[in-house]
Chain A
Amino acid sequence: MDISQLALIAALGFAGLLFLIAFLADREGRPRWLASPVVYTLSISIYCTSWTFYGAVGSAARNGLEYLTIYLGPTLVFIGFWALLRKILRIAKRDSITSIADFVSSRYGKSDSVAAVVTILALLAAAPYIALQIKAIAASFQVLGSAPGDLTGAAAAAPDPVVAFWITAGLALFTILFGTRTVDINERHLGVVAAIAVEALVKLVALVAVGALAVWGVADGPSDLFERMADSAVPLDTPFGMRWVGLILLSGAAIICLPRQFQVTIVENEREGHLFTAAWLFPLYLLVMSLFVLPIAVIGLDVLPEGSNPDMFVLTMPIAEGRTDIALLAFLGGFSSGTSMVIVSCIALSTMISNHIVMPLALRSPGARLQGGGDVRRFLLVSRRLSICFILLLGFIYLRTGASGEGLASIGLIAFVGAAQVLPALLGALYWEGANRRGALAGLIAGGIVWAYALFLPNIFGGVAWWDALAEAGPFGQAWLRPGALFGLQTDDALMHALFWSLTFNCIGLVLGSLSRLPNPIERLQAALFVGVFREEAGAGTLRGGAASADQLFDLAQRIMGADRAYDIFRSYARGQGAATEFPTVDDAFIAHLERRMAASVGAASARAMILSVTGSETISLDELVRIADETARLMTYTSEVTRKSDEIERAATQLKAANDRLRTLDRQKDEFLSQVSHELRTPMTSIRSFTEILSGTHDLKPEEQERFIGIIHAESIRLTGLLDEILDMSVIESGDGERALEPVDPEAALDQALDACLGLLRTGDVRVETARVDRAVLVQGNLARLSQVFINILSNAVKYNTNDAPVIHVESQVTADDYIVVIADNGAGIPPEEAQTVFDRFSRGRTAGTQIGAGLGLAISHAIVTRSGGTLRLLPGSGGARFEVRLPLSEAESLA
């Protein structure tokens, strides 16, 4: 089999395996190891994409040690987790943050515009990054498929558009199936995390395997390797200058600001403690990945023909050495690197697009109809799926238009500079309380524009005539505006040029924008909550009461709770202290007490922040704080509107609860009914079974005995059939399904039918029937057959349960103004008062019934029929025989007449 076919099968099989892992991890009761810090660390390793897997070797072959900067920056960030990542994580967990756009915008007064700008920036930056992955995967396919003699990896320079397109489509499908099976409220994807953790292991093992082949398979151990290194073209004396510094800072920014890194490090984090492990384990992973890059580059340059593409050494070097097994492993490693990056990037970006661009637009558009919860869910899912296709399409377009000639690493760096534009706003959010929305927007937009103009667009349009003309002369002939040399900064390094100017303008925008106006109250509040996230923890037990006077505290409290209440609190506390003055002595206990009271109005965190500011361990001035309090008071008026709404919701909830209780009762009744039915059915069934067993098991039965048994079986079968009919009737009537509609009928006709039907029964029982019937035609709403069923039932009960020696049944019908009434009475023993209550219940056969057969559903059915017709069926009180009254309302046609 051809190795490229083998690779295709391996890739598909591997994708299937990932699905299985994701599926198992998403199930309830997932295995414990999934929640381990190791899995968390491995999921962060999506930082190592195709860029690392293929591109780092290429970068090492071209620029020597420079590739290390991409891993040293993140190492420093993770080693310094205590200051930065832990703070972001704590805030994100407290506020249920769903993405980096959400995080930044939430700090700047929950601003939609900031979120949208961050999202657009992230989307643009993602295009080259995703193009890089498509390019690498397509190239790896083509290298495996190219003629065995051609190991130059030339295909990697310009991937076949058809292959690239199908890979893009495949990735879109894969990501949609993977990432958007559900919309999770807190945007966590356990299955995806498990799958990318496995992919992280695969790429590590693959790169180490290729590296081991280089060191011990081709070279003769490390010492030989270092000798070859000294002779090779790999430049070890990389100039450690601006670019080295810039790239370390840039990669450090990227590990925080890339949307997918934020997703796995912050959003998918399960426990803060996991970060303590990732702090050293993730740098270790990076170190191991980087360790073998240089050997592969050195050996690749040695064994492969001159002019080979170093970006594909990881793949071509094993092939050149005849190790197709390792080449295949390397292919899977590269596939893992590319797919895991694309999946998580698309998930993170599609969340941002749907939450911060599509949803706000949908909510604002006048025709928006997004009420029911299910609607929004569906809407979100669809918008996320479309976003994923859109993101991948952008990547594909980028691949087709620009950058196809460049190495993988330099494409990735373009994306890094784009993502790094979020850094100033992010750091401002965490450490500078004065930063506000205007500053954040100004910085993001200024930095984003410079990035696009100096790096992103040149990469797309480079080689196109009009752009080249513009780049040469500058727009409008202004040489100082040339995208490659802004303000006359002449440099060969377009990347550093763009990084410098974009971050410079970004920071200037942030600082000047923030200083140009005072933060509004909500910004100030969020600033205190973000910058001071650990203050709560640190402040516990370290309150210094002496720093604040009672006057100051009262001033603050009265603005939040109103003067009267604040006065009450202060005075009653002062009395408790035994002080003669109106104001208590300020001590820790009193401050804690006041804080609890204030927390009830403004929430614990704000109360803590405000109190701390008065007690002196805070940088916001008291004046500012008082202003917050004023705003809070104004907000609280608006809040009363909200309170009214929430009252309505509460009422609805109460109604729902009542409905729920009713449903529960019905459910219990249904259960009881089912158990009764099975009990009733059991009795005849048991006797049929036992007599059948006797008949089939005993051969010397006398014929008359046989006959008697068969008779019993027959009788029981009839009883069973009758019972089933009744149950069926019951369910039909109660549910109303399949029941004919009500129509005006003559109840007298029904009564006649019933008397006729009972004629046989009456004769056998030698029963005398006395009737006193209404003498005119009557119409009621009902159903003829059902009504006569009711009468038959009552009549036959009157016969069956009549123990009198000379049984008499009295049937009397009459019409009142509204109703038609039939009373059927007998002269039997009557129904004991204690049974009168339950006579209409299902299966309530009279205890006095003795030998009578019947399921005890007759009266229940009758009752249901009459009720459905809008009438009543009841047992009239009184001694003597039983007297049943059927009362049916006259039909409208009748009462009008």
Chain B
Amino acid sequence: MREGGRARDLALIVPVIGLFALMPPLVGLFVGGAVAGVPLILAYLFGVWLALIFVALLLARRLKGQAEARDESGSTASS
């Protein structure tokens, strides 16, 4: 598989993982209890949310770099 293929596959799978993490029955496990005074369910939901954003940030940077590199090589090849 070519370089960058993994990033693209990850970009497809991350939202699916996110959906899975936010769906019952998984979310139901975190109802009740607290971590450091914060209700566990809040910590979990916002934690997953932040993690998704962070992964998206990394992926977007990676994929954008690739897209630009491809555009560049494409334009030099055609010129």
**Chain A residues at the B interface, C-beta cutoff of 8 Å:** 65, 68, 72, 75-83, 222-223, 226-227, 229-230, 236-237, 240-241, 244-245, 248, 272-273, 276-277, 279-280, 283-284, 287, 291, 294, 537, 540
Give the Cβ gap from B75 to chain A, nearest Cβ, in Å. Answer: 13
Contact status B41-A75, CB under 8 Å:
no
Q: Rank and list the top 10 A-B pairs by shortest CB-CB distance, nearest first.
A: A80-B15, A82-B11, A280-B56, A280-B57, A276-B60, A240-B24, A276-B64, A79-B56, A240-B27, A279-B60
Chain A residues near B1 (CB-CB < 8 A): none
Chain B residues near A291 (CB-CB < 8 A): 46
Give the Cβ gap from B32 to chain A, nearest Cβ, in Å. Answer: 7
Given contacts A226-B38, A279-B56, A283-B49, contact A273 B24 (CB under 8 A): no
Name the residue on A nearest B23 (C-beta). Answer: A245
The answer to the question of B69 belonging to the interface, with a C-beta cut-off of 8 Å to chain A, is no
Pairs A–B under 8 Å by Cβ, sample size 28:
A65-B42, A68-B45, A75-B52, A75-B53, A76-B19, A77-B15, A79-B18, A80-B14, A80-B18, A81-B60, A83-B11, A222-B37, A222-B38, A236-B39, A237-B31, A237-B32, A240-B24, A240-B25, A241-B24, A245-B24, A248-B22, A276-B64, A279-B56, A279-B59, A280-B57, A280-B60, A287-B50, A537-B70
Contact status A79-B53, CB under 8 Å:
yes
A236 to B23, CA, bound (A): 16
Chain B residues near A283 (CB-CB < 8 A): 49, 52-53, 56
> Which residues 5-56 of B have a CB within 8 angstroms of A?
8, 11-12, 14-16, 18-19, 22-25, 27-28, 31-32, 34, 37-39, 41-42, 45-46, 49-50, 52-56
Chain B residues near A68 (CB-CB < 8 A): 45
Q: Which of A75, A81, A248 contacts B49 (CB 8 A)?
A: A75
Contact status A76-B15, CB under 8 Å:
yes
Chain A residues near B22 (CB-CB < 8 A): 72, 76, 248
**Chain B residues at the A interface, C-beta cutoff of 8 Å:** 8, 11-12, 14-16, 18-19, 22-25, 27-28, 31-32, 34, 37-39, 41-42, 45-46, 49-50, 52-57, 59-61, 63-64, 67-68, 70, 74
Chain A residues near B74 (CB-CB < 8 A): 540
Name the residue on B nearest A223 (C-beta). Answer: B37
Name the residue on A nearest B58 (C-beta). Answer: A280
A537 to B50, CA, bound (A): 32
Chain B residues near A237 (CB-CB < 8 A): 31-32, 41
Given contacts A273-B67, A276-B64, contact A287 B46 (CB under 8 A): yes
A241 to B27, CA, bound (A): 10
A-B contacts counted at CB < 8 A amount to 104
Name the residue on A nearest B74 (C-beta). Answer: A540
Give the Cβ gap from A68 to chain B, nearest Cβ, in Å. Answer: 6
Contact status A65-B23, CB under 8 Å:
no
Chain A residues near B38 (CB-CB < 8 A): 222, 226
A82 to B14, CA, bound (A): 10
Contact status A80-B39, CB under 8 Å:
no
Contact status B24-A244, CB under 8 Å:
yes
A276 to B11, CA, bound (A): 11
Contact status A240-B28, CB under 8 Å:
yes
Chain A residues near B15 (CB-CB < 8 A): 76-77, 79-80, 83
A750 to B16, CA, bound (A): 99
Name the residue on A nearest B22 (C-beta). Answer: A72
Contact status A80-B53, CB under 8 Å:
no
A272 to B34, CA, bound (A): 42
Name the residue on A nearest B48 (C-beta). Answer: A72
Given contacts A241-B24, A245-B24, A283-B49, contact A79 B14 (CB under 8 A): yes
Give the Cβ gap from B77 to chain A, nearest Cβ, in Å. Answer: 9
Main secondary structure of the interface of A (DSSP, over half): helix
Q: A79-B53, A537-B70 are in contact. List 5 more A-B contacts (CB 8 A).
A: A79-B52, A80-B14, A80-B15, A245-B23, A291-B46
A367 to B22, CA, bound (A): 57
Give the Cβ gap from B79 to chain A, nearest Cβ, in Å. Answer: 15
A606 to B8, CA, bound (A): 26
Contact status B37-A226, CB under 8 Å:
yes
Chain A residues near B60 (CB-CB < 8 A): 81, 276-277, 279-280
Give the Cβ gap from A314 to chain B, nearest Cβ, in Å. Answer: 20
Contact status A80-B41, CB under 8 Å:
no
Contact status B11-A80, CB under 8 Å:
yes
Give the Cβ gap from B54 to chain A, nearest Cβ, in Å. Answer: 8
Chain A residues near B42 (CB-CB < 8 A): 65, 236, 294
A688 to B14, CA, bound (A): 88
A107 to B74, CA, bound (A): 28
Chain A residues near B50 (CB-CB < 8 A): 287
Q: Which of B8, B49, B53 contacts A82 (CB 8 A)?
A: B8
Give the Cβ gap from A218 to chain B, nearest Cβ, in Å. Answer: 18
A832 to B50, CA, bound (A): 94
Contact status A276-B63, CB under 8 Å:
yes
Chain A residues near B25 (CB-CB < 8 A): 240
A77 to B19, CA, bound (A): 10
A273 to B66, CA, bound (A): 11
Give the Cβ gap from A522 to chain B, nearest Cβ, in Å. Answer: 30
Contact status B18-A75, CB under 8 Å:
yes
A226 to B23, CA, bound (A): 25
Chain B residues near A222 (CB-CB < 8 A): 37-38
Give the Cβ gap from A94 to chain B, nearest Cβ, in Å. Answer: 15
A78 to B53, CA, bound (A): 9
Q: Which of A80, A240, A245, A273 contacts B12 (CB 8 A)?
A: A80
A226 to B39, CA, bound (A): 7
Given contacts A72-B22, A237-B31, A240-B24, contact A284 B39 (CB under 8 A): no
A230 to B74, CA, bound (A): 59
Contact status A83-B12, CB under 8 Å:
yes
Chain A residues near B49 (CB-CB < 8 A): 72, 75, 283, 287
A272 to B71, CA, bound (A): 12
Name the residue on A nearest B7 (C-beta). Answer: A82
Chain B residues near A287 (CB-CB < 8 A): 46, 49-50, 53
A99 to B52, CA, bound (A): 30
Give the Cβ gap from A72 to chain B, nearest Cβ, in Å. Answer: 6
A241 to B60, CA, bound (A): 32
Chain B residues near A245 (CB-CB < 8 A): 23-24
A236 to B11, CA, bound (A): 32
A641 to B15, CA, bound (A): 50
A76 to B19, CA, bound (A): 7
Give the Cβ gap from B17 to chain A, nearest Cβ, in Å. Answer: 10
A284 to B50, CA, bound (A): 8
Chain A residues near B68 (CB-CB < 8 A): 273
A79 to B15, CA, bound (A): 6
Q: Which of A227, A236, A284 contacts B53 (CB 8 A)?
A: A284
A287 to B27, CA, bound (A): 18
Give the Cβ gap from A163 to chain B, nearest Cβ, in Å. Answer: 37
Give the Cβ gap from A496 to chain B, nearest Cβ, in Å. Answer: 14
Name the residue on A nearest B25 (C-beta). Answer: A240
Name the residue on B nearest A286 (C-beta). Answer: B49
Give the Cβ gap from A728 to chain B, nearest Cβ, in Å. Answer: 59
Chain A residues near B52 (CB-CB < 8 A): 75-76, 79, 283
Contact status A244-B27, CB under 8 Å:
yes
A728 to B41, CA, bound (A): 90
Q: Count chain A CB atoms within 10 A of each CB in B41, B59, B60, B67 and give the residue with the most.
A: B60
Name the residue on A nearest B14 (C-beta). Answer: A79
Chain B residues near A284 (CB-CB < 8 A): 53
A77 to B15, CA, bound (A): 7
A540 to B37, CA, bound (A): 56
A151 to B28, CA, bound (A): 36
Contact status B18-A65, CB under 8 Å:
no
Chain A residues near B64 (CB-CB < 8 A): 273, 276
